[in-house]
Chain A
Amino acid sequence: MKIPVLVIGGGLSGIAAAIRIARFAPDVQILEQHSRLGGLNSYFYRNQTLFETGLHAITNYAEAGDKKAPLNRLLRQLKLRRREISFCQQLESRVEFYGHETLRFSNQFELLDSEVHSKFPQAYGPFRQLIAFIDEFDPFAPAPFRSAKTYLSELLGNRLLVDMLLCPLMFYGSSYENDMDLSQFAIMFRAIYIEGMFRPKGSIKDFLDLLTSHYKLMGGSIRTKCQVKKILHCKGQVTGVELNSGETIECDHLLSTIGSDETMALLEDAPAKSMKGDTRLGFIETIYELKRDEADSLPTDTTIIFYNKGENFNYSSPDDYIDNKSGVICFPGNFSGLPAKEKKEIRFTHLANYSKWKKLASDPEAYLAKKFATSKESRHLLEPFIGRFNHNIVFENTFTPVTIERYTSKRKGAIYGNPVKIKDGNIGYKNLFIAGTDQGFLGIIGSMLSGVSIVNQHILPKL
């Protein structure tokens, strides 16, 4: 069998890439190993309730009229109409360094601006310089790694402010320990602080269904439960793929969204590449489902809290199972215009150590017990700050880096992939390119834009 264009991976970058191809050449097929699309951003059912796996908030909020905004560009490129999605904006979020300082922010940049002005008056002038710099800077121009931390420290001269500004940007988009590339920093600063966050009114399932039906209407096809075992190639040119079942499919163009090392591992007999950048950041997340309780004191006006309780903010792979000195607390129900649900939800996210969890996973009972123990510890640590909810928990679910690895085949379960990004998607083959996490644009909007831009650069001009 032959299909002109194949896309490995039905996560958001693969779906966006495939829609983009199908617009002009309907002979495109997505190959996804699971029975369901979405990858990191998917859903599961427990007790007849749908739980989203990878959604706190979507970054890059933009109003309809702002044609140059990444969100609107993406919708145009995919030929999706804005009115097909209802946008619920965040209420208010904050960076909370307990015992030090708080910075509130929302989709109105003025809030963060006034917070910096009143809490870090001496750094406010330089902060305005930073905004001007970000306004001018082209983060998409190819450039070697430049330390955002060094740049910020020199400019702002205030370590606490630097760490506080970096904290949300790292948690929502850095595969790099304790620093970020300046370009990635600028992209994330715009995405989170200047543009802001939202979520669709419906669930991620509704969003995936919308994308899928749109794609199928254009003529594209999808094969689920279809794992690619090998990429077949000859003299720097890909000829097709071999599936787990032994079946082969020939193709003219192949786009892989499963990660750079993960893709290289499927290229049999390929010249060995040195594994650059092998530190991978793992995460652990617990989702709590709660009974509604009018007496609880949980915030109703806060969407996300990015916190740090340590003396310094440390964004690196922890020595222990998890590092709950810092993390993200998300209240998924607290978005403007979101219909009230029967139950409430809270999510805690922290950095986690892949190797420790991996070792423990061979003993399922101990693994499960450890998940409960760590979730309990985080709860004890954070309840004094957000309010008690222990007594209202009806369901809790924790995923570790091992869960992510098992589910998406991401090396070491690292959500943000390899710290070394391949911005042009080129891994040395004429008709094989990578998009998604390891291309460098992260998050939901980022991964979708990644799929679109790699297709625009390398596939559409050759069709």
Chain B
Amino acid sequence: MTNDEIKDLVLDIIEGIDDEADFASLDPDQPLREQLDLDSMDFLDIVMELRKRHQLQIPEQDYPNLATLNSCVTYLAPLLKDV
């Protein structure tokens, strides 16, 4: 997957969690949770969706790597390079 595809994947997952999520003013370097009003329960859904769609097992200690859109890309790029 290219970086842009990974971004789309993450945003698609978030849209599935909250269909009213507003991406227009999203800053890719700021935490997703605050910007989109997600709580820890919603956050778990991102992890679970990545597992369901791409069989990725993300250990709990790695969750902080998914904090911002750009950090998601950095973290997921090597894991999804063959997809």
Contacts and interface: CB of A to CB of B under 8 A. Distances in A.
Interface of A: 23-24, 67-68, 73, 76-77, 79, 81, 452-453, 456, 460-461
From B16, B37, B41, name the one whose CB has the most chain A CB atoms within 10 angstroms: B41
**What range describes how many residues of B lie at the interface?**
10 to 19
Given A24-B51, A68-B39, A76 B18 contact: yes
B41 A456 contact: yes
A24 B48 contact: yes
Q: Tell me if A's interface is mostly helix, strand, loop or mixed.
A: helix
A230 B74 CA distance: 49
A67 B44 contact: no
B39 to A, nearest CB: 6
B77 interface: no
Interface in B28-47: 37, 39, 41-42, 44-45
Contacts of A73: 39, 41-42
B34 to A, nearest CB: 12
A452 B37 contact: no
B44 A460 contact: yes
A67 B20 CA distance: 10
Contacts, number: 28
A460 B49 CA distance: 11
B44 A453 contact: no
A456 B44 contact: yes
A68 B41 CA distance: 11
B42 A76 contact: yes
A23 B41 CA distance: 14
Contacts of A453: 41
Contacts of A81: 19
Contacts of A68: 37, 39
A460 B51 CA distance: 11
A73 B38 CA distance: 9
B41 A67 contact: no
A-B pairs with lowest CB-CB distance, top 10:
A67-B37, A24-B48, A24-B52, A456-B44, A77-B41, A460-B48, A456-B41, A76-B18, A73-B41, A76-B17
B62 interface: no
A306 B42 CA distance: 36
13 contacts: A24-B49, A67-B18, A73-B42, A76-B18, A76-B42, A77-B45, A79-B16, A81-B19, A452-B41, A456-B44, A460-B44, A460-B48, A461-B60
